[in-house]
Structure 1
């Protein structure tokens, strides 16, 4: 497994950002905020509050910068999106008999 830290949104390397990541850290490629739940090792969509840390406060938007003291960036936070747009278009075309 690669332990390189990458942007949770686009997968670009975060090697040029100073560690620890500050609250205003941004990806140099897509400018997404990086001090976010989605990049944290405690983030777990299946858990209560979507966080494995029971003492952490609730964060409403998991993809926006926050001031959580429990934040620890995790390698592997980026998950490539499946081509949802083309899958949706295929299903619509099948349903309505269209094609583009």
Structure 2
């Protein structure tokens, strides 16, 4: 078995794969992160609105809404909100750490 021929072929495939794959710029990555963060916040907002709507319907006596539905929706929105708070705290902590780095 010829090892150097296999090695050359693997290197050629690696170069082809690396040239075919476009490397994202920092601006593209930042835009994707911003979009993802915006979608996450909108998702949390939707869960909170849904929870409030279910609670209001239950308070008004809607027979289609049970107490367990209301509690599950409230817990989902609470967990999502707490997760968002934790992400925000980590981002602020990372920002502060970057600002304190010597240049």
- Bigger RCO of structures 1 and 2 (CA < 8 A, at least 6 apart): 1
TM-score, length-scaled by structure 2: 0.25
TM-score, length-scaled by structure 1: 0.25
